């Protein structure tokens, strides 16, 4: 990708009404465009990051045996009335609209009711179960506050998965496997050590749930963690009963600010009973299905990564999710020889399947370096008269600023040793 061909441009400042660091840096770096509070468009570089996160999630969901689908954004009022969750008193984030032909519809904030209703057409016998499905879906939530950039949007991308099992034991086994899969996702994107499975309230979903909370100074949530036991409790359910159940004391716990990046719910058979989702067991007895719901906020996770992995110069993307692996910077200064050498390095990287952003623009070196730091691609390669005179290419690691001169003959090997995606 040639930087001169990008329609997006970096900016020195973010919009004055944007207070969240993640959105400020993403807007300045040309990753997103702010449409309104809590609503953002994803531009070429931002979409690349988003797709890399989705790739990781998709791989882990597939490993669980979950099949990918995509459901509708429009929701039937009558279906949600069945479970009482159409009510604004029960769910206060609905967007709703009147149909010109008559009637009312909602815009999907979640999909438990529709997926359970759908499964009534596909589940009849115990032989049809278990079923695991997931989707990447744009959710719409009428949030009262939308001041956290892409970490709390009114429109956002979520991966939601649903499990349908024959009984409690089968459900519990998959539930635990999902916890492990989610932690693998968070480890792969670089936040595994700071992410805790957290005992929490189920809100509008169930009485209790498990959240995945990541420690960050800018987080909106407060949890209490026991780092040695890897236990965590959300402040909203911190009481003597919860402490006894988890076998810890208040004094053992550390209070930290966190951001929620995932959530899972055990519906048991309640949702199936409400919606008539049943199957015939081995004895021919009609039995309600055990159901679970699981979600990772994909765009929220992207925002959290910016909050955690950034410095005074800009973003520092983890390799697994970076928009590209290498930022190649040509400092030609009018030299045709430098231009030719930079083009040759660009072609060499492409031949070896290395994704590269090539800064071939005719702008000052200082502007190129500032933009490179802001965009935050893991490795920067600089081709200049100085590097050519010294017989190589200057390689700098964005995370720690370590720099060295690498001979072109050894360039691909050194890039691969640095751990970039190929």
**Helical ranges in 143-279 per DSSP H:** 168-188, 240-246, 270-275
Distance CA 211, CA 202 (A): 9
The verdict on 124 and 250 lying in the same domain is yes
Nearest to 199 by CA among 162, 228, 239: 239
Domain assignment present for residue 313? The answer is no
Domain assignment present for residue 189? The answer is yes
| Of 162 and 419, the one with more pLDDT | 162
pLDDT at res. 147 = 81
Nearest to 142 by CA among 115, 99, 107, 113: 107
Domain assignment present for residue 315? The answer is no
User: How many separate domains does the chain show?
Assistant: 2
Residues 6+ apart with CB under 8 A from 389: none
Q: Are 158 and 298 in contact (CB under 8 A)?
A: yes
pLDDT at res. 338 = 95
Mean pLDDT of 314-333: 96
Mean pLDDT of 137-159: 92
CATH number at residue 405: 3.40.50.800
The verdict on 123 and 85 lying in the same domain is yes
pLDDT at res. 152 = 87
The verdict on 383 and 346 lying in the same domain is yes
What percent of the chain is modeled with pLDDT above 90?
Answer: 86
Domain assignment present for residue 422? The answer is no
The verdict on 255 and 337 lying in the same domain is no
The verdict on 297 and 335 lying in the same domain is no
The verdict on 165 and 286 lying in the same domain is yes
The verdict on 224 and 343 lying in the same domain is no
pLDDT band at 204 (very low <50, low <70, confident <90, very high): very low
Domain assignment present for residue 321? The answer is no
Give strand pairing partners of 278.
288
Distance CA 51, CA 258 (A): 24
Domain assignment present for residue 319? The answer is no
Q: Which of 282, 308, 334 is the last residue of a domain?
A: 308
pLDDT band at 203 (very low <50, low <70, confident <90, very high): low
The verdict on 221 and 336 lying in the same domain is no
Over 60: is that where the pLDDT of 357 sits? Answer: yes
pLDDT band at 379 (very low <50, low <70, confident <90, very high): very high
DSSP 321-336: T-S-SEEEEEE-TT-H
| Of 229 and 95, the one with more pLDDT | 95
Mean pLDDT of 384-409: 95
The verdict on 362 and 222 lying in the same domain is no
The verdict on 160 and 283 lying in the same domain is yes
Domain assignment present for residue 402? The answer is yes
The verdict on 179 and 263 lying in the same domain is yes
Give the domain extent around 78. Answer: 3-308
Domain assignment present for residue 179? The answer is yes
Over 80: is that where the pLDDT of 194 sits? Answer: yes
Q: What confidence tens digit (pLDDT) does each residue in 69-111 have?
A: 999 999 999 999 999 999 999 999 999 999 999 999 999 999 9
Q: Which of 275, 308, 341 is the last residue of a domain?
A: 308
pLDDT band at 138 (very low <50, low <70, confident <90, very high): very high
DSSP 252-316: G-EEEEEEEEEEEEEEETHHHHHHT-EEE-TTS-EEEPEEEEEEEEHHHHHHHHHHHSB-SS-B-
Least confident of 28-42, 82-96, 235-249, 396-410: 235-249
Mean pLDDT of 22-45: 96
Nearest to 308 by CA among 201, 399, 244: 399
Distance CA 380, CA 359 (A): 10
What's the pTM value of the predicted model, to 2 decimals? 0.94
Q: Which of 274, 308, 342 is the last residue of a domain?
A: 308
CATH number at residue 116: 3.30.930.10
CA 244 → CA 239, 241, 249, 250, distances in Å? 9, 5, 8, 10
Distance CA 251, CA 414 (A): 48
| Of 206 and 368, the one with more pLDDT | 368
Over 70: is that where the pLDDT of 403 sits? Answer: yes
The verdict on 338 and 241 lying in the same domain is no
Q: What confidence tens digit (pLDDT) does each residue in 276-292 have?
A: 999 999 999 999 999 99
């Amino acid at each position: 990708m040639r930087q001169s061909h990008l329609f997006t441009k970096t900016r020195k400042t973010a919009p004055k009404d944007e207070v969240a660091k993640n959105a400020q840096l993403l807007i300045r770096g040309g990753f997103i465009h702010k449409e309104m509070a809590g609503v953002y468009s994803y531009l070429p570089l931002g979409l690349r990051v988003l797709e890399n996160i989705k790739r990781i999630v998709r791989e882990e969901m597939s490993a669980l045996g979950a099949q990918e689908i995509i459901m509708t954004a429009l929701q039937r009022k009558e279906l949600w009335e069945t479970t009482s969750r159409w009510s604004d008193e029960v769910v206060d984030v609905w967007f709703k609209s009147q149909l010109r032909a008559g009637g009312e519809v909602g815009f999907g904030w979640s999909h438990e009711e529709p997926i359970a209703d759908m499964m009534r057409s596909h589940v009849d016998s115990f032989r049809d179960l278990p079923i695991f499905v997931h989707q990447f879906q744009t959710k719409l939530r009428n949030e009262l506050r939308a001041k956290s950039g892409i970490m709390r949007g009114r429109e956002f991308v979520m991966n939601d998965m649903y499990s349908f099992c024959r009984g409690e034991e089968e459900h519990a086994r998959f539930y635990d496997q999902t916890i492990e899969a989610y932690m693998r996702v968070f480890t792969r994107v670089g936040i595994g050590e700071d992410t805790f499975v957290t005992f929490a309230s189920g809100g509008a979903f169930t009485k209790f749930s498990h959240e995945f909370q990541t420690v960050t100074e800018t987080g909106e949530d407060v949890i209490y963690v026991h780092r040695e036991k890897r236990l965590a409790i959300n402040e909203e359910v911190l009481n003597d009963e919860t402490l006894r159940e988890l076998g810890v004391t208040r004094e053992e716990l550390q209070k930290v600010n966190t951001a929620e990046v995932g959530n899972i719910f055990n519906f048991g058979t309640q949702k199936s009973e409400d919606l008539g989702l049943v199957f015939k067991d081995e004895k021919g007895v009609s039995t309600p299905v055990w159901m679970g719901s699981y979600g990772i906020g994909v765009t929220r996770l992207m925002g959290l990564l910016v909050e955690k992995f950034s410095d005074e110069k800009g973003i520092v993307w983890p390799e697994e999710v970076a928009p590209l692996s290498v930022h190649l910077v040509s400092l030609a200064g009018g030299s045709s020889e430098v231009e030719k050498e930079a083009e040759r390095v660009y072609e060499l990287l492409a031949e070896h399947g290395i994704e590269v952003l090539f800064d071939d623009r005719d702008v000052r070196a200082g502007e190129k370096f500032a933009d490179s730091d802001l965009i935050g691609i893991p490795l920067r390669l600089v081709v200049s008269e100085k590097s050519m005179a010294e017989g190589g290419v200057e390689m700098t690691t964005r995370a720690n600023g370590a720099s060295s001169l690498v001979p072109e003959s050894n360039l691909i090997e050194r890039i691969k040793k640095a751990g970039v995606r190929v």
